Structure 1
Amino acid sequence: MKIHLFLLLSFLLIIGCKESTSEQESKITNSEDYNNYLAIQKARTTSPYFELWNSKITTDSVELPSFAAVAGQYNMFFESTGNIAYLKKAEQSLEKAVKVANIDKEIYYRSLARNYISQHKFKEALVYADSAAQLSKNIPATQHLLFDVYMELGNYTKADSIKKLFADPQDFNYIIRAAKWNDYKGKLDMTIMFMERAKEKAEASKNRAMLLWVYSNIADYYGHDGRIEDSYEHYLKTLEIDSSNAYAKKGIAWIAYSKDNNSVEAQRILDSVLKAHVSPDYYLLKAEIAEFQNDEKAKKDAMDSFWKLSNNPGYGNMYNTYKIALFAGDPATKKEALALAEQEIKNRATPETYQLLALANLVNGNKEKALKIINDHVIDKTFEPTALLTIAKIYKANMMPDMVKDIKEELLEAGYEMGPVKLREIHSL
């Protein structure tokens, strides 16, 4: 009997060790891969190039190259720090450039339009994109811009017609927009195919900006497709080029949290990022992870930081979608959710903003109106899991259990994308 007991204990110990090893092997993230990138790095907010051109600008300056060069540097500082003040300074420089330009004016129209896109001032961006088009009707750079603006505004018919004007299967700028178009259509396999083709182009060119863009974006798409190891690998590739890239670090933090169930490591990564790069949405992720950890104080601290930052007037409409979802989640602010959702629809009428309007109507007791909104503007027009979750909630409120069941199955397959907190909500449908 003692021998049998000894053998049983030995067997259980072996099984336990195997399970532990298997669990370790299934982890995607490894801190040794990225610890060196988490070292505190002072955000870059000046350069000899910037100082040279900035010194040439005076109150009555009309030196066009100075404004364009300084705006470009301010954009870089914004990307490095997340500080909205730099994006606004870039806007001011470009507005001055537009005023003083007599030749190549369309170049400055395009630059200012792209600045407005970054600020989610999409209608203003369209005005300057159209102005550029009037001066350069057949210039591909202007066509690319118009496509981007119309996609942001939700005018997909117009975007598609413009895309056909610059269609060239060998051109990088066409390829990445073909990827974006297929993502909108819900064709993830085609999106990844185009992104991999873009990656080949970027790697052949060895262009740093192209590589950074492709690696960080294809990492996202691989994540959507459940290819988490490929996603992780490409976030690391991004950091190999730009060790301070906050977006890639946030992506790795998500993998640690949502795939590896390592919320402590995810918080550590985010804390390292926020020492040099401060963006409101990073605090939202910290709050979500804190909620998962049942740490109410940490969640409140993170949410307080989000609201303090995002309420800076400089951000304008940039965080409206986040705010609508948060307002809708609290009965005390459900009216604010509806008012802001109606305002955001005026800014851009996309399936994603309509699903927020539907959600706001639902929490305000307008379940029939919410159903009409999703039927008219959301269903079969977006395939984002967040929108699907809103659709499922509205179906449930309108007593449509069979429809809820179908969507719930689809949402469970998107568990990694949604994260552990949302997954609880999905299970409760």
Structure 2
Amino acid sequence: MKSIPLSIASIFIFILSCKQKPQPLVEPKLINQMVQNLQSAAKNKVMDSIQTQMKEELNFWESRIVDRPEGITALKSYTNALIQDFHLTGNIFQLQKADSILLHLNQLQKEQDAGILRSLASLYITLHRFTEANEYIAKARKIGTEKYATELLFFDTQFELGGFALCKNVLSKTHSTNQFGYLFRMAKWKHYLGETDSAIHYFNQSALWAGNSNTLKQAAYSNLADLYLHEGNLEKAYSLYKQNLIANPYDHYSLQGMGRIALSHPNTIKLAEKIFYLQAKANALPDALYNLVWLAEAENNIELQKKYATEFEKLATQKVYGGMYNKYLIELYTGILNTPSKALILAEKEILNRSTPQTNAWLVYALQLNGKTASAKSRYQKQVSGKPLESLELYWMGKTMELQYKKYNAKKFYKAAARNRYDLSPAKQKDL
């Protein structure tokens, strides 16, 4: 066998090493610019414009309410402004105000205004109060006006509650090839079925039909980016997150996605830290603290893991958040914080709120960690076995099977979870 000339061998090794070690995607220059912009929003025209518009909108409708406290149109518009401000700043107390106003309006209208009922349902979906959301949308369906909008919200509540047969029925009734609402939900449905290519197609179509609404377009692109990240296509995910952040520098969800991509490469872990601190400054929600737990895991810093996990627990368990962060709290209680009894309490609450294959998987794992093996086995067989699960639930079911000495089953779950490993924290990826 002839030896390969040294120069050719060197090129071959270089090419091979490039394939084995993908270059980092996240651009330090972009993140440093965003940090500077946030320190002085006036330096950035987009940020300054968004801030100014939001303040003007809130002030305008607030002044109208002072003049006419029972004016239904003004109250509705003020509520919409409060909800938009929440999505911009993460100020959960804006949702609390909106809830109070909408309940008052619903009483004034004697529960006969389908628009107000839909607004309440949508608000409660955001707050993860899915059973209540479904009750309000059921009332709107009885009224029967604006059926298309009502049916799409009915899809949303049923999707969260596990009413998948009803979801399929809604899609057949609202079928449309040129409506954002239908296309966006069809994308979610295809993702649930595991038909990734179709889900990508429908998210792209929904973005095309978002019209002049940057909010809808960003929703489509951030969901599409999440799907690409889920599939391990970091390049496409990063491109979409970046596109969203250029359009709206306050898009903390895309910022989070970009941070998680930065965590995937050892050379950009410190950049991820900068991104998550930026997220914490720009948005009041607890999400940044949860992401900092991931950062501490990537750095193998146990002390910081506990610090950030404890801070996240303190904030996320505040009454105003209700059950919005139960999934993440269960993850921390069954891991870093090591208090499985708390995980069991939350998992049982979630079943009352929404009994889906996912929430049942949370309960199975919590039961198993609390030594209730018989109950864990029974619930797994009745509510989880053979059902579609996401990566975290697959990982937890692998752990459950391992604790039940079913190594073959555990390996199958771990293998399935590893296919979408970027949905998992760095410690779980390492464990797999």
In structure 1, what residue type is equivalent to 2:231? Answer: D
Deviations 1:131-190 (A, max 9, x none): 111112561000001110111111212222222211223322111111111222222222
Conservation of the 8 A alpha-carbon contact between 1:235 and 1:248:
yes
The CA deviation string for residues 208-243 of structure 1, in whole angstroms up to 9 with x for no partner, is: 122111111110011112211000000011112112
Is the alpha carbon distance of 1:24 and 1:365 closer, same or farther for their aligned partners in structure 2, counting shifts above 3 Å? closer
Does the Cα contact within 8 Å between 1:185 and 1:381 map onto a contact in 2?
A: no
Structure 2 equivalent of residue 420 of structure 1: 426
Matched, 1:379 2:376: no
Q: 2:341 aligns with which of 335, 355, 359?
A: 335
Aligned: 1:93 with 2:115: no
- Native 8 Å contact 2:187 2:200 kept in 1: yes
CA drift of 1:387 comes to: 1.1
Q: How do 1:22-421 and structure 2 match up within 5 A?
A: 26-38=23-35, 39-40=37-38, 44=51, 47-58=55-66, 61-101=69-109, 105-136=113-144, 139-202=147-210, 205-259=211-265, 262-329=268-335, 333-421=339-427
Distance 1:180 1:122, change over 3 A: same
Q: Give how far 1:299 is off.
A: 2.4
Unaligned 5+ residue runs, structure 2?
A: 42-46
Give the structure-2-normalised TM-score. Answer: 0.88
Q: AA paired with 2:87?
A: E
Q: 1:356 to 1:31 in 2, by over 3 A?
A: same
Q: Which amino acid aligns with 2:256?
A: K
* In 2, Cα distance between equivalents of 1:260 and 1:331: 26
Distance 1:60 1:394, change over 3 A: same
The aligned amino acid for 2:88 is S
Tell whether the 8 Å contact from 2:231 to 2:419 is kept in structure 1 after alignment: no
Contact 2:226 2:237 in 1 (8 A): yes
CA distance in 1, matches of 2:342, 2:254: 33
Contact 2:130–2:354 (8 Å) recurs in 1: yes
Query: Structure 1, residues 22-69: CA drift from partner, whole Å, max 9, x if none?
Result: 788622222234433333256949522321211232498210112111
* Gapped regions of structure 1 (runs ≥ 5): 1-6
Query: Which position in structure 1 is the counterpart of 2:44?
Result: none
1:411 Cα deviation (Å)?
2.7
User: Using the alignment, how far apart are the partners of 1:141 and 1:340 within structure 2?
Assistant: 32
CA distance in 1, matches of 2:325, 2:425: 20
Cα–Cα, structure 1 residues 22 and 158, in superposed 2: closer, same or farther, change >3 Å? closer
Tell me, in whole angstroms, the C-alpha distance in 2 between the residues paired with 1:218 and 1:305: 31
State the alpha-carbon separation in 1 of the partners of residues 305 and 317 from structure 2. 18
Report how far residue 353 of structure 1 moved: 0.8
Q: Is the 8 A contact 2:394 2:417 kept in 1?
A: yes
**Whole-Å separation in 2 of the counterparts to 1:372 and 1:180:** 30
Residues 1:169 and 1:379: Cα distance change in structure 2 (over 3 Å): farther
Identity of aligned residues (%): 28
1:380–1:183 CA distance, 2 compared to 1 (3 A)? farther
Structure 1 residues 232-285: Cα deviation after superposition (integer angstroms, max 9, x where no partner)? 000011112112211111100000002456221101111112112122122111
RMSD value, Cα:
2.8
Greater Cα offset, 294-303 or 361-370? 294-303
The CA deviation at 1:70 is 1.1
What secondary structure is seen at the aligned counterpart in 2 of 1:40? helix
Amino acid at match of 2:278: S
Q: Is 1:37–1:239's contact at 8 Å kept on the other side of the alignment? A: no
Query: What is the distance in 1 between the residues matched to 2:325 and 2:293?
Result: 16
Q: Distance in 2 between matches of 1:368 and 1:398?
A: 10
Distance, in Å, in 2 between the alignment partners of 1:328 and 1:112 is 33
For residues 21 and 330 of structure 1, the distance between their equivalents in structure 2, rounded to whole angstroms, comes to 35
Quick one: distance in 2 between partners of 1:52 and 1:251?
Answer: 34
Q: AA paired with 2:33?
A: N
Q: Contact 2:90–2:284 at 8 Å: present in 1 too?
A: yes
Query: What is the rounded CA distance, in whole Å, between the counterparts of 2:22 and 2:390 in structure 1?
Result: 30
What CA distance in whole angstroms lies between the structure 1 residues aligned with 2:419 and 2:215?
34
Cα distance in structure 2, aligned partners of 1:25 and 1:332: 35
Residue type at the aligned position of 2:187: A
Alignment partners' CA distance in 2, 1:226 and 1:332: 30
Amino acid paired to 2:333: F
Greater mean alpha carbon deviation, residues 225-234 or residues 11-20: 11-20
Give the Cα–Cα distance (whole angstroms) in 1 for the partners of residues 85 and 68 of structure 2.
25
2:340 maps to a residue whose letter is K
Letter in 2 for 1:112: L
Deviations 1:384-403 (A, max 9, x none): 11111112112222222222
Higher mean Cα deviation, 97-106 or 389-398?
A: 97-106
Label 1:90 to 1:309 Cα distance change in 2 as closer, same or farther (>3 A): same
Separation (CA, whole Å) in 2 of partners of 1:367 and 1:424: 27
- Give the 3 Å change call, closer, same or farther, for CA 20–53 of structure 1 in structure 2: same
Spell out, residue by residue over 1:283-338, the C-alpha distance to the aligned partner (whole angstroms, 9 max, x if none).
Answer: 11101211221323432332232122112211111111222222223686222221
